[in-house]
């Protein structure tokens, strides 16, 4: 079993990765900025018993160096980022610091460590399909599709992507870059996102919200379990210095996704259309044939993935409501 550093460990994906690594018997080293002591304590207690949970910031150079040099790491999964478009646009200084300099700080720490110790076998750097910029061509973006960045989020993530690749080429670090579509599934509490926000609205008896400009936009949706299986494969078979797209090959109109959620929870509730204009890429699809050739394929269809998510949010909402009743007694 392996010692695996996970940066950004308290985010939606970070916690899924920690749970997955624990189930596999690995020893996760979690670097987290903060986590919810009420809902996540049990997970981080398990991490501490098996590996280590370290409170800190990816921008703390000394801390990152101590972690990389002190834990006999076999692998690194680098997730630390500002992942929300609105947050990046509102605070570009922080976005560029975390998404760009955070990546460089980690890569520099690994470069220093590998001069002395070649133990680290693979580094997965989590990037995004948003860096490709323009609407996807027929057949989807390939890993060679040029970047055409626009907003702060896309630009900062593209810069981090290129920095990671440059360390693979220049310093021969064992880096694989992963570019993924829209991730979803249980326990995502960023309610500004399409799926968790509308699931909770419907569970609360409210209308789901659809912005007019987004209705016909086409997106791939990747269930977190498919992403985790891709990580497993890349850690073993991924070629250092290569990028891998993770996609299902299926695009869904935003309106159809919301409509499917509505039908699963309460078909009597109608969608509330909200007039809003904003810049978004019209169509995004990833060509995952490169990863498919290694033996990976997406296994969770949208309907089954939504069922998994809805069940979790229903149970979570019941728990929150019971606790609220108990507090108000």
Which pLDDT score, from 0 to 100, does residue 287 have?
95
110 contacts 76 by C-beta, under 8 angstroms: yes
**pTM (predicted TM-score):** 0.94
Which pLDDT score, from 0 to 100, does residue 186 have?
97
Q: Write down the domain spans for the chain.
A: 3-184+220-250+282-299
135 contacts 281 by C-beta, under 8 angstroms: yes
Alpha-carbon distance of 150 to 232, in angstroms, equals 32
Among candidates 22, 72, 67, which has minimal Cα distance to 49? 22
Which CATH number is associated with domain 3-184+220-250+282-299?
3.40.50.720
Query: Which residues have CB under 8 Å from 223's CB, separation 6+?
Result: 183, 184, 185, 298, 300, 304, 305, 308
Which pLDDT score, from 0 to 100, does residue 46 have?
97
Structure tokens that stand for 45 in this block: 């207690």
Structure tokens that stand for 5 in this block: 């550093």
Query: Which residues have CB under 8 Å from 280's CB, separation 6+?
Result: 213, 214, 217
For residue range 282-292, list pLDDT tens digits in order: 888 999 999 99
Q: What's the distance, Cα to Cα, between the start and end of the chain in Å?
A: 48
Alpha-carbon distance of 140 to 283, in angstroms, equals 9
Which pLDDT score, from 0 to 100, does residue 212 have?
85
Q: How many residues does the chain have?
A: 329
3 state DSSP class of 51: coil
Alpha-carbon distance of 11 to 80, in angstroms, equals 8
Query: Which residues have CB under 8 Å from 317's CB, separation 6+?
Result: 200, 203, 204
291 contacts 228 by C-beta, under 8 angstroms: no
Query: Which residues have CB under 8 Å from 66's CB, separation 6+?
Result: none
Q: Which residues of the chain have pLDDT under 50?
A: none
Alpha-carbon distance of 187 to 189, in angstroms, equals 6
Give ∠ CA 308-311-317 in degrees, rounded to 5: 135
Alpha-carbon distance of 82 to 95, in angstroms, equals 6
197 contacts 258 by C-beta, under 8 angstroms: no
Which pLDDT score, from 0 to 100, does residue 93 have?
97
Which pLDDT score, from 0 to 100, does residue 277 have?
66
Burial 68-81 (b: 16+ CB within 10 A, else e): beebebbbbbbbbb
Which pLDDT score, from 0 to 100, does residue 54 have?
97
Instruction: List alpha helices for the chain, DSSP H.
Output: 12-23, 41-50, 61-70, 85-90, 92-96, 102-116, 152-170, 194-203, 224-237, 254-265, 289-292, 302-328
Which pLDDT score, from 0 to 100, does residue 320 have?
85
Phi, psi of 148 (to 5 degrees): -135, 80
Give ∠ CA 9-100-221 in degrees, rounded to 5: 55
């Amino acid at each position: 079993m392996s010692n695996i550093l996970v940066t950004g460990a308290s985010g939606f994906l970070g916690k899924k990765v920690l749970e997955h690594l624990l189930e596999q018997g690995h020893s996760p080293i979690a670097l987290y900025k903060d986590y919810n002591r009420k809902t996540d304590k049990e997970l981080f207690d398990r991490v501490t018993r098996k590996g280590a949970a370290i409170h800190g910031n990816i921008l703390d150079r000394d801390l990152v160096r101590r972690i990389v040099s002190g834990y006999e790491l076999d692998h690194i999964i680098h997730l630390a980022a500002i992942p929300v478009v609105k947050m990046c646009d509102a605070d570009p200084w922080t976005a560029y610091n975390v998404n760009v300099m955070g990546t460089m700080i980690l890569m520099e720490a690994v470069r220093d460590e590998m001069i002395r110790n070649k133990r680290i076998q693979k580094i997965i750097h989590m990037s995004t399909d948003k860096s490709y910029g323009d609407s996807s061509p027929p057949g989807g973006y390939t890993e060679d599709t040029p970047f055409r960045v626009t907003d702060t989020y896309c630009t900062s993530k593209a810069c981090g992507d290129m920095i990671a690749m440059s360390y693979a080429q220049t310093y021969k670090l064992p880096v694989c870059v992963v570019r993924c579509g829209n991730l979803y599934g249980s326990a995502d509490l960023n309610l500004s996102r399409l799926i968790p926000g509308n699931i909770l609205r419907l569970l609360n008896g409210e209308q789901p919200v659809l912005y007019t400009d987004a209705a016909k936009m086409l997106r791939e949706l990747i269930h977190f379990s498919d992403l985790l299986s891709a990580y497993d494969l890349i850690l073993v078979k991924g070629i250092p210095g290569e990028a891998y797209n993770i996609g299902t090959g299926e695009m869904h109109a935003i309106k159809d996704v919301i409509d499917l959620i509505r039908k699963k929870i309460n078909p009597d509730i109608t969608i509330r259309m909200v007039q809003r204009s904003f810049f978004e890429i019209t169509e995004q699809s990833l060509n995952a044939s490169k990863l498919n050739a290694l033996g990976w394929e997406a296994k969770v269809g949208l309907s089954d993935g939504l069922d998994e998510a809805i069940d979790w949010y229903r149970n979570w909402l019941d728990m929150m409501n019971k606790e609220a009743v108990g507090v108000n007694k």
